[in-house]
Amino acid sequence: MIKSVSDFTDTMTRRSVCGFALLAPLCAKSRKLSAELLPLQFAGPLGIDAAWFDRQAKRQQLRIAQGSAEHIAYYFLQSKSFTSLEPIEPMRAAHAKLPLPQLRADHFLAAKPEGERHRIIRNLYDGLHWPLERCYEHTLSFLRAKEIDQAPLDQLYQSRGLSSDTSPDSLTGLSSIDIPAKRVLLVGPGLDLTRRENFSDDLPLKSYQLESLRARYPLVDAVDIRPEVIAHLGATPHDLTTQILPAQYDLIIATNVFVYLNDAELLCALTGLSLSLPVGGVLIHNDTRFAAKVFGESLQLPVEKYQPLSLGGRKWDRLVIHRKGPQ
Ligand SMILES: C[S@@+](CC[C@H](N)C(=O)[O-])C[C@H]1O[C@@H](n2cnc3c(N)ncnc32)[C@H](O)[C@@H]1O
Protein backbone atom coordinates (compact mmCIF):
# COMPACT_ATOMS: atom_id res chain seq x y z
CA MET A 1 0.00 0.00 0.00
CA ILE A 2 1.43 3.37 -0.98
CA LYS A 3 0.86 5.94 1.78
CA SER A 4 3.42 8.66 1.20
CA VAL A 5 5.55 10.19 -1.49
CA SER A 6 8.62 8.27 -0.31
CA ASP A 7 6.68 4.98 -0.33
CA PHE A 8 5.59 5.80 -3.83
CA THR A 9 9.15 6.54 -4.93
CA ASP A 10 10.42 3.33 -3.34
CA THR A 11 7.74 1.32 -5.07
CA MET A 12 8.47 2.89 -8.43
CA THR A 13 12.21 2.32 -7.99
CA ARG A 14 11.61 -1.33 -7.23
CA ARG A 15 9.24 -1.65 -10.16
CA SER A 16 11.68 -0.17 -12.62
CA VAL A 17 14.48 -2.34 -11.26
CA CYS A 18 12.20 -5.34 -11.83
CA GLY A 19 11.55 -4.10 -15.34
CA PHE A 20 15.25 -4.35 -16.15
CA ALA A 21 15.51 -7.71 -14.35
CA LEU A 22 18.42 -6.42 -12.29
CA LEU A 23 18.45 -6.41 -8.52
CA ALA A 24 14.98 -6.91 -7.10
CA PRO A 25 14.50 -10.63 -6.94
CA LEU A 26 10.80 -10.95 -6.27
CA CYS A 27 9.45 -9.92 -9.66
CA ALA A 28 8.43 -13.50 -10.41
CA LYS A 29 5.81 -15.49 -8.52
CA SER A 30 6.50 -18.29 -6.08
CA ARG A 31 6.50 -21.82 -7.55
CA LYS A 32 4.89 -24.92 -6.09
CA LEU A 33 6.91 -27.12 -3.81
CA SER A 34 6.50 -30.85 -4.45
CA ALA A 35 7.21 -34.04 -2.51
CA GLU A 36 10.10 -35.04 -4.84
CA LEU A 37 12.12 -32.03 -3.67
CA LEU A 38 11.97 -33.07 -0.01
CA PRO A 39 14.51 -35.37 1.71
CA LEU A 40 12.94 -38.81 1.12
CA GLN A 41 13.86 -40.26 4.51
CA PHE A 42 11.57 -37.73 6.20
CA ALA A 43 8.90 -37.02 3.58
CA GLY A 44 7.66 -40.64 3.53
CA PRO A 45 7.35 -41.16 7.31
CA LEU A 46 5.69 -37.74 7.65
CA GLY A 47 3.14 -38.71 5.00
CA ILE A 48 4.00 -35.88 2.58
CA ASP A 49 2.89 -36.68 -0.97
CA ALA A 50 0.88 -34.90 -3.68
CA ALA A 51 -2.37 -35.38 -1.73
CA TRP A 52 -0.74 -33.85 1.36
CA PHE A 53 -0.07 -30.65 -0.61
CA ASP A 54 -3.74 -30.50 -1.71
CA ARG A 55 -4.92 -30.88 1.87
CA GLN A 56 -2.35 -28.37 3.07
CA ALA A 57 -3.68 -25.62 0.80
CA LYS A 58 -7.11 -26.07 2.42
CA ARG A 59 -5.67 -26.29 5.94
CA GLN A 60 -3.86 -22.97 5.41
CA GLN A 61 -7.09 -21.28 4.28
CA LEU A 62 -8.76 -22.38 7.51
CA ARG A 63 -5.82 -21.21 9.62
CA ILE A 64 -5.81 -17.81 7.92
CA ALA A 65 -9.54 -17.56 8.73
CA GLN A 66 -8.87 -18.49 12.36
CA GLY A 67 -6.13 -15.85 12.56
CA SER A 68 -8.55 -13.26 11.15
CA ALA A 69 -11.10 -14.29 13.79
CA GLU A 70 -8.52 -13.56 16.53
CA HIS A 71 -7.73 -10.12 15.11
CA ILE A 72 -11.42 -9.28 14.81
CA ALA A 73 -12.19 -10.43 18.37
CA TYR A 74 -9.27 -8.55 19.94
CA TYR A 75 -10.27 -5.41 18.08
CA PHE A 76 -14.00 -5.41 18.72
CA LEU A 77 -13.42 -6.15 22.42
CA GLN A 78 -10.81 -3.44 23.01
CA SER A 79 -10.99 -0.64 20.46
CA LYS A 80 -12.33 2.74 21.54
CA SER A 81 -12.63 4.00 17.99
CA PHE A 82 -16.26 2.97 17.37
CA THR A 83 -17.87 3.04 20.81
CA SER A 84 -17.86 4.83 24.14
CA LEU A 85 -18.32 1.48 25.97
CA GLU A 86 -15.43 0.40 28.20
CA PRO A 87 -12.90 -1.93 26.54
CA ILE A 88 -13.05 -5.59 27.63
CA GLU A 89 -9.82 -7.43 28.32
CA PRO A 90 -9.84 -10.68 26.34
CA MET A 91 -8.39 -12.68 29.26
CA ARG A 92 -11.08 -11.35 31.61
CA ALA A 93 -13.72 -12.48 29.11
CA ALA A 94 -12.04 -15.91 28.87
CA HIS A 95 -11.77 -16.37 32.64
CA ALA A 96 -15.33 -15.22 33.30
CA LYS A 97 -16.71 -17.14 30.28
CA LEU A 98 -18.49 -13.91 29.32
CA PRO A 99 -21.12 -14.36 26.62
CA LEU A 100 -20.64 -12.22 23.51
CA PRO A 101 -20.85 -8.55 24.62
CA GLN A 102 -23.76 -7.83 22.31
CA LEU A 103 -23.83 -4.03 22.58
CA ARG A 104 -20.13 -3.71 21.74
CA ALA A 105 -20.65 -6.18 18.87
CA ASP A 106 -23.59 -4.09 17.57
CA HIS A 107 -21.53 -0.89 17.72
CA PHE A 108 -18.67 -2.54 15.84
CA LEU A 109 -20.98 -3.88 13.14
CA ALA A 110 -22.83 -0.57 12.72
CA ALA A 111 -19.72 1.65 12.62
CA LYS A 112 -18.53 3.21 9.38
CA PRO A 113 -14.80 2.45 9.07
CA GLU A 114 -12.97 5.71 9.66
CA GLY A 115 -9.37 4.82 10.40
CA GLU A 116 -7.10 2.44 8.49
CA ARG A 117 -7.09 -0.14 11.31
CA HIS A 118 -10.88 -0.31 11.44
CA ARG A 119 -11.03 -0.57 7.65
CA ILE A 120 -8.60 -3.52 7.64
CA ILE A 121 -10.50 -5.31 10.43
CA ARG A 122 -13.81 -4.70 8.69
CA ASN A 123 -12.39 -6.11 5.43
CA LEU A 124 -11.19 -9.20 7.29
CA TYR A 125 -14.64 -9.59 8.82
CA ASP A 126 -16.48 -9.13 5.51
CA GLY A 127 -14.15 -11.61 3.76
CA LEU A 128 -14.43 -14.20 6.50
CA HIS A 129 -18.19 -14.90 6.49
CA TRP A 130 -18.09 -15.98 10.14
CA PRO A 131 -20.55 -14.34 12.55
CA LEU A 132 -18.90 -12.23 15.24
CA GLU A 133 -19.99 -14.78 17.83
CA ARG A 134 -17.90 -17.47 16.12
CA CYS A 135 -14.81 -15.19 16.02
CA TYR A 136 -15.31 -14.48 19.71
CA GLU A 137 -15.79 -18.12 20.75
CA HIS A 138 -12.86 -19.29 18.65
CA THR A 139 -10.55 -16.70 20.24
CA LEU A 140 -11.71 -17.31 23.80
CA SER A 141 -11.31 -21.06 23.47
CA PHE A 142 -7.70 -20.56 22.32
CA LEU A 143 -7.03 -18.27 25.30
CA ARG A 144 -8.60 -20.74 27.72
CA ALA A 145 -6.53 -23.60 26.31
CA LYS A 146 -3.32 -21.58 26.53
CA GLU A 147 -3.66 -19.63 29.75
CA ILE A 148 -6.16 -21.54 31.88
CA ASP A 149 -5.86 -25.21 30.85
CA GLN A 150 -2.13 -24.74 30.09
CA ALA A 151 -2.22 -27.05 27.07
CA PRO A 152 1.27 -27.98 25.73
CA LEU A 153 2.42 -24.85 23.89
CA ASP A 154 4.09 -26.51 20.92
CA GLN A 155 0.98 -28.52 20.03
CA LEU A 156 -1.26 -25.51 20.58
CA TYR A 157 0.77 -23.24 18.31
CA GLN A 158 1.18 -25.88 15.61
CA SER A 159 -2.59 -25.95 15.15
CA ARG A 160 -3.27 -22.29 15.96
CA GLY A 161 -4.74 -19.83 13.49
CA LEU A 162 -2.18 -17.77 11.56
CA SER A 163 -2.31 -14.23 12.88
CA SER A 164 0.04 -11.35 12.10
CA ASP A 165 0.88 -10.53 15.75
CA THR A 166 4.05 -8.56 16.27
CA SER A 167 5.37 -5.89 18.64
CA PRO A 168 8.51 -3.82 19.22
CA ASP A 169 9.85 -6.84 21.18
CA SER A 170 10.35 -8.52 17.81
CA LEU A 171 13.41 -6.26 17.37
CA THR A 172 15.26 -7.78 20.33
CA GLY A 173 16.47 -10.71 18.24
CA LEU A 174 17.18 -8.66 15.15
CA SER A 175 19.45 -6.17 16.88
CA SER A 176 21.84 -8.97 17.78
CA ILE A 177 22.15 -10.14 14.16
CA ASP A 178 25.42 -8.97 12.73
CA ILE A 179 25.67 -10.76 9.39
CA PRO A 180 26.75 -8.88 6.27
CA ALA A 181 24.27 -9.41 3.41
CA LYS A 182 23.25 -7.70 0.19
CA ARG A 183 19.93 -9.48 -0.31
CA VAL A 184 17.76 -10.14 2.73
CA LEU A 185 14.42 -11.89 2.97
CA LEU A 186 12.08 -11.36 5.90
CA VAL A 187 9.56 -14.19 6.13
CA GLY A 188 6.39 -13.25 8.04
CA PRO A 189 7.02 -9.57 8.86
CA GLY A 190 3.78 -9.34 10.86
CA LEU A 191 1.72 -6.16 11.33
CA ASP A 192 0.88 -4.53 14.66
CA LEU A 193 -2.85 -4.67 13.97
CA THR A 194 -4.31 -5.89 17.26
CA ARG A 195 -2.97 -7.22 20.53
CA ARG A 196 -4.39 -9.37 23.23
CA GLU A 197 -2.84 -7.13 25.90
CA ASN A 198 -1.94 -3.44 25.87
CA PHE A 199 -3.96 -2.79 22.72
CA SER A 200 -4.35 0.85 21.72
CA ASP A 201 -5.97 2.36 18.65
CA ASP A 202 -2.80 4.46 18.35
CA LEU A 203 -0.40 1.57 17.81
CA PRO A 204 1.60 2.20 14.63
CA LEU A 205 0.26 -0.03 11.86
CA LYS A 206 3.58 -1.45 10.80
CA SER A 207 6.10 -4.26 10.87
CA TYR A 208 8.90 -3.22 13.23
CA GLN A 209 11.20 -5.86 11.79
CA LEU A 210 10.77 -4.79 8.18
CA GLU A 211 11.41 -1.14 9.00
CA SER A 212 14.52 -1.98 11.01
CA LEU A 213 15.99 -4.32 8.38
CA ARG A 214 15.37 -1.82 5.58
CA ALA A 215 17.37 0.75 7.55
CA ARG A 216 20.32 -1.67 7.75
CA TYR A 217 20.39 -3.61 4.48
CA PRO A 218 20.27 -2.40 0.85
CA LEU A 219 17.60 -4.86 -0.35
CA VAL A 220 15.00 -6.44 1.89
CA ASP A 221 12.08 -8.42 0.49
CA ALA A 222 9.18 -9.56 2.64
CA VAL A 223 6.84 -12.49 2.04
CA ASP A 224 3.72 -13.40 3.98
CA ILE A 225 0.60 -15.53 3.86
CA ARG A 226 -1.90 -13.06 5.37
CA PRO A 227 -3.80 -10.74 3.04
CA GLU A 228 -3.67 -7.57 5.15
CA VAL A 229 0.08 -7.94 5.72
CA ILE A 230 0.67 -8.40 1.99
CA ALA A 231 -1.53 -5.41 1.09
CA HIS A 232 -0.34 -3.04 3.80
CA LEU A 233 3.40 -3.71 3.50
CA GLY A 234 3.54 -4.46 -0.22
CA ALA A 235 4.87 -7.92 0.69
CA THR A 236 4.85 -10.86 -1.73
CA PRO A 237 2.16 -13.52 -1.22
CA HIS A 238 3.85 -16.76 -0.28
CA ASP A 239 3.10 -19.88 1.72
CA LEU A 240 6.29 -21.29 3.20
CA THR A 241 4.79 -24.75 3.47
CA THR A 242 3.75 -25.21 -0.15
CA GLN A 243 5.87 -22.84 -2.26
CA ILE A 244 9.43 -22.05 -3.37
CA LEU A 245 10.66 -18.50 -3.86
CA PRO A 246 11.99 -17.54 -7.28
CA ALA A 247 14.99 -15.70 -5.81
CA GLN A 248 18.25 -16.11 -3.90
CA TYR A 249 19.13 -14.39 -0.63
CA ASP A 250 22.28 -14.11 1.49
CA LEU A 251 20.22 -13.89 4.67
CA ILE A 252 16.71 -15.13 5.47
CA ILE A 253 15.03 -14.22 8.76
CA ALA A 254 11.86 -15.88 10.07
CA THR A 255 11.13 -15.26 13.76
CA ASN A 256 7.93 -16.42 15.45
CA VAL A 257 6.89 -18.17 12.24
CA PHE A 258 8.19 -21.76 12.44
CA VAL A 259 6.49 -22.27 15.82
CA TYR A 260 3.21 -22.36 13.89
CA LEU A 261 4.40 -25.29 11.76
CA ASN A 262 4.11 -28.99 12.57
CA ASP A 263 7.04 -31.24 11.61
CA ALA A 264 5.75 -31.93 8.08
CA GLU A 265 5.24 -28.21 7.46
CA LEU A 266 8.64 -27.43 8.93
CA LEU A 267 10.32 -29.90 6.57
CA CYS A 268 8.60 -28.21 3.61
CA ALA A 269 9.53 -24.73 4.82
CA LEU A 270 13.20 -25.60 5.36
CA THR A 271 13.38 -27.36 1.99
CA GLY A 272 11.88 -24.37 0.18
CA LEU A 273 14.08 -21.84 1.96
CA SER A 274 17.24 -23.90 1.46
CA LEU A 275 16.63 -23.65 -2.30
CA SER A 276 16.79 -19.84 -1.96
CA LEU A 277 20.16 -19.82 -0.20
CA PRO A 278 23.49 -19.97 -2.04
CA VAL A 279 26.45 -21.70 -0.38
CA GLY A 280 27.35 -19.58 2.69
CA GLY A 281 23.81 -18.12 2.92
CA VAL A 282 22.26 -17.89 6.38
CA LEU A 283 18.81 -18.72 7.75
CA ILE A 284 17.82 -17.40 11.19
CA HIS A 285 14.74 -18.42 13.16
CA ASN A 286 13.81 -19.04 16.79
CA ASP A 287 12.40 -22.57 16.82
CA THR A 288 14.77 -24.77 18.86
CA ARG A 289 12.94 -27.99 17.95
CA PHE A 290 15.28 -30.96 17.35
CA ALA A 291 13.58 -31.58 13.99
CA ALA A 292 14.87 -28.22 12.68
CA LYS A 293 18.44 -29.39 13.35
CA VAL A 294 17.95 -32.82 11.79
CA PHE A 295 16.06 -31.53 8.72
CA GLY A 296 18.66 -28.77 8.29
CA GLU A 297 21.47 -31.34 8.19
CA SER A 298 19.73 -33.38 5.50
CA LEU A 299 19.32 -30.22 3.38
CA GLN A 300 22.98 -29.11 3.65
CA LEU A 301 21.69 -26.36 5.92
CA PRO A 302 23.16 -27.36 9.29
CA VAL A 303 22.74 -25.35 12.47
CA GLU A 304 25.88 -23.25 12.96
CA LYS A 305 24.92 -21.97 16.40
CA TYR A 306 22.20 -21.35 18.94
CA GLN A 307 22.37 -17.77 20.19
CA PRO A 308 20.65 -17.06 23.53
CA LEU A 309 18.68 -13.83 23.80
CA SER A 310 17.40 -12.06 26.88
CA LEU A 311 13.86 -10.77 26.46
CA GLY A 312 13.97 -9.00 29.85
CA GLY A 313 13.06 -10.31 33.30
CA ARG A 314 13.13 -14.10 33.37
CA LYS A 315 12.17 -14.47 29.71
CA TRP A 316 14.62 -15.96 27.24
CA ASP A 317 14.56 -16.86 23.60
CA ARG A 318 17.15 -18.39 21.34
CA LEU A 319 18.09 -17.65 17.75
CA VAL A 320 18.86 -20.68 15.63
CA ILE A 321 21.41 -19.90 12.91
CA HIS A 322 21.79 -22.26 9.93
CA ARG A 323 24.40 -21.82 7.20
CA LYS A 324 24.17 -23.41 3.75
CA GLY A 325 27.04 -25.73 2.96
CA PRO A 326 28.27 -27.13 -0.37
CA GLN A 327 26.09 -29.89 -1.93
C1 LIG B 1 3.37 -14.15 14.79
S2 LIG B 1 3.75 -13.27 13.34
C3 LIG B 1 5.48 -12.87 13.63
C4 LIG B 1 5.86 -11.52 13.09
C5 LIG B 1 7.31 -11.14 13.27
N6 LIG B 1 8.19 -11.97 12.47
C7 LIG B 1 7.72 -11.19 14.72
O8 LIG B 1 8.63 -11.93 15.08
O9 LIG B 1 7.11 -10.46 15.51
C10 LIG B 1 3.86 -14.57 12.12
C11 LIG B 1 3.94 -14.03 10.70
O12 LIG B 1 4.22 -15.10 9.81
C13 LIG B 1 3.24 -15.16 8.79
N14 LIG B 1 3.09 -16.58 8.39
C15 LIG B 1 2.60 -17.60 9.14
N16 LIG B 1 2.62 -18.76 8.46
C17 LIG B 1 3.14 -18.48 7.24
C18 LIG B 1 3.42 -19.28 6.08
N19 LIG B 1 3.13 -20.58 6.03
N20 LIG B 1 3.97 -18.66 5.00
C21 LIG B 1 4.26 -17.34 5.04
N22 LIG B 1 4.01 -16.53 6.10
C23 LIG B 1 3.46 -17.10 7.20
C24 LIG B 1 2.00 -14.56 9.45
O25 LIG B 1 1.06 -14.10 8.53
C26 LIG B 1 2.63 -13.42 10.27
O27 LIG B 1 2.87 -12.27 9.52
Contact 42, 268 (CB under 8 A): no
Q: Ligand 1: residues whose CB is within 6 Å? A: 162, 164-166, 170, 188-190, 209, 224-226, 229, 238-241, 255-257, 260
| Edge-to-edge order in the sheet of strand 183-187 | 236-237, 219-224, 183-187, 251-254, 282-285, 316-323, 303-310
Backbone angles phi, psi at 161, to 5 degrees: -60, 155
Report the b/e string of 295-324 with b at 16+ CB within 10 A: bbebbebebbeeeeeeeeeeeebebbbbbb
Closest residue by Cα to atom 4, ligand 1, is: 190
Backbone angles phi, psi at 321, to 5 degrees: -115, 115
> Which residues make up the CATH 3.40.50.150 domain(s) of the chain?
26-44+164-323
CA-to-CA separations, 167 to 170, 194, 207, in angstroms, rounded: 6, 10, 8
Closest residue by Cα to atom 1, ligand 1, is: 165
Distance in Å, CA 107 to ligand 1 centroid? 30
Distance in Å, CA 257 to ligand 1 centroid? 5
| pLDDT given for residue 314 in this prediction | 65
Residue 69 to residue 73: CA distance in whole angstroms: 6
Residue 214 to residue 235: CA distance in whole angstroms: 13
pLDDT values of the chain reduced to their tens digit, one per residue, 327 residues:
333 333 333 333 343 334 333 334 466 678 999 999 999 999 999 999 999 999 999 999 999 999 999 999 999 999 999 999 999 999 999 999 999 999 999 999 999 988 999 999 999 999 999 999 999 999 999 999 999 999 999 999 999 999 999 999 999 888 888 899 999 999 999 999 999 999 999 999 999 999 999 999 999 999 999 999 999 999 999 999 999 999 999 999 999 999 999 999 999 999 999 999 999 999 999 999 999 999 999 999 999 999 988 777 767 789 999 999 998
| pLDDT given for residue 10 in this prediction | 37
26-44+164-323: what fold? Rossmann fold (3.40.50)
Q: Nearest-CA neighbor of 132 among 89, 86, 68?
A: 68
Closest residue by Cα to atom 22, ligand 1, is: 224
Atom of ligand 1 nearest to the CA of 229: 27
Q: Nearest-CA neighbor of 288 among 273, 272, 303, 270?
A: 303
Beta strands (DSSP E) in the chain are: 31-32, 183-187, 219-224, 236-237, 243-244, 251-254, 282-285, 303-310, 316-323
Beta strands (DSSP E) in 100-250 are: 183-187, 219-224, 236-237, 243-244
| pLDDT given for residue 173 in this prediction | 82
Sign of the alpha-carbon torsion through 229, 105, 60, 295:
positive
Closest residue by Cα to atom 13, ligand 1, is: 188
Distance in Å, CA 239 to ligand 1 centroid? 10
pTM across the whole model: 0.91
